[in-house]
């Protein structure tokens, strides 16, 4: 599980990972299950988010993508 902290108006990008087969169908991509997003907690104006996704997907903070 990838854990990120985000503030209001900050974003997360989910896109094909480097080297992933971009011709995969959605059925193939999600054969092992869906993307799962879990809100793990908050402190002040930050929210901690846990994300589980297929290894063919890259999850990045938008500000460093």
Q: Tell me if 62 sits within 8 A of 16, measured CB to CB.
A: no
Distance CA 40, CA 50 (A): 6
Please state the domain count of the chain.
Answer: 1
Residue 2: beta bridge partners? 51
How many Cα neighbours within 13 Å face the side chain of 40? 14
Mean pLDDT of 20-41: 92
Structural domain span for residue 60: 2-64
Confidence of residue 3 (pLDDT cuts 50, 70, 90): very high
**What pTM did the predictor assign?**
0.79
User: Where residue 27 sits, what CATH number does that domain have?
Assistant: 2.60.40.4380
User: pLDDT tens across 31-65, in order?
Assistant: 888 999 999 999 999 999 999 999 999 999 998 86
CA-based torsion, 25, 2, 50, 18: positive or negative? negative
Distance CA 43, CA 41 (A): 7
């Amino acid at each position: 599980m990838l854990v990120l902290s985000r503030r209001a108006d900050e974003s997360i990008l989910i896109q094909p990972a480097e080297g992933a087969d971009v011709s995969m169908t959605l059925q193939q991509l999600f054969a092992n299950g869906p993307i799962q997003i879990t809100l793990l907690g908050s402190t002040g104006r930050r929210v901690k988010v846990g994300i589980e996704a297929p290894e063919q997907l890259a999850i990045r903070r938008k500000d460093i993508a």
